[in-house]
């Protein structure tokens, strides 16, 4: 097997999982992991609201990164965008599963409305609304609210910086509208 050039140059390993094929791992994987892991988890946690699920997403992202031909100078942006993508996909999958389970479940009465229960319900509504956004809007919203500047978001997503603000406002308005429509009186 020929070793590819660029970011994929690294150590070789024979894996029983791949039938003994030699795999090439990025030489910068460990260093990049140590430097960017917390940021990847932070982005995923903003979307998912769960540290455990965010760590699962981070693991998926770094596995994908280990196989990707991403130049080292673009690793951070690639990782953060991949974290947002993967976390949004998890929210969408959870929403689909919840709809299926809800359709099959026997309706239950809710217990007394304690503040924590209401807060969890609000977070769940926001996550569900986020999961229904178009992919580009969801990514811009998550990345911007994860602390990235307009320029960083634009660079990661390959869009003009002037478009980030517009996309962000549209995403926020769509989430707000959906949340307001959910607040119909009981």
Which of helix, strand or coil describes residue 24? strand
Token digits of residue 62:
């770094």
Give pTM, 2 decimals: 0.56
pLDDT tens digit at each of 186 positions of the chain: 333 334 444 544 444 444 555 455 678 899 999 999 999 999 999 989 888 999 999 999 999 999 999 998 999 999 999 999 999 988 888 777 777 776 666 555 544 555 566 667 777 888 888 888 888 888 888 888 888 889 989 988 899 988 999 999 998 898 888 888 866 554
Question: How much is the pLDDT for 126?
Answer: 80
The per-residue pLDDT for range 51-68, each reduced to its tens digit, is: 899 999 999 999 999 999
The domain ranges of the chain are 21-103+113-182
Alpha-carbon gap, residue 2 to 55, rounded angstroms = 33
Question: How much is the pLDDT for 8?
Answer: 41
How many angstroms separate the first and last alpha carbons of the chain? 64
The per-residue pLDDT for range 14-29, each reduced to its tens digit, is: 444 445 554 556 788 9
Alpha-carbon gap, residue 123 to 53, rounded angstroms = 15
Question: How much is the pLDDT for 163?
Answer: 92
Torsion of CA 110, 116, 122, 127, to 10 degrees: -110
Question: How much is the pLDDT for 105?
Answer: 61
CATH of domain 21-103+113-182: 1.20.140
């Amino acid at each position: 097997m020929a070793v590819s050039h660029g970011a994929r140059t690294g150590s070789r390993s024979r894996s029983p999982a791949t039938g003994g094929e030699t795999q090439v791992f990025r030489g910068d994987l460990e260093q990049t992991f140590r430097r960017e892991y917390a940021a990847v988890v932070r982005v995923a946690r903003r979307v998912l609201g769960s540290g455990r699920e965010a760590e699962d997403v981070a693991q998926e992202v770094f596995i994908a990164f280990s196989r990707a031909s991403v130049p080292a100078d673009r690793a951070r942006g690639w990782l953060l965008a991949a974290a947002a993508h993967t976390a949004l996909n998890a929210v969408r999958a959870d929403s689909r599963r919840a709809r299926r389970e809800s359709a099959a479940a026997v309706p239950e009465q809710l217990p007394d409305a304690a503040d924590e229960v209401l807060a969890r319900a609000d977070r769940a509504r926001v996550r569900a609304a986020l999961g229904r956004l178009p992919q580009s809007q969801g990514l811009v919203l998550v990345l911007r609210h994860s602390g990235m500047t307009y320029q960083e978001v634009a660079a990661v997503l390959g869009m003009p910086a002037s478009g980030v603000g517009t996309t962000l406002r549209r995403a926020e308005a769509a989430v707000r509208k959906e949340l307001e429509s959910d607040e119909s009186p009981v």
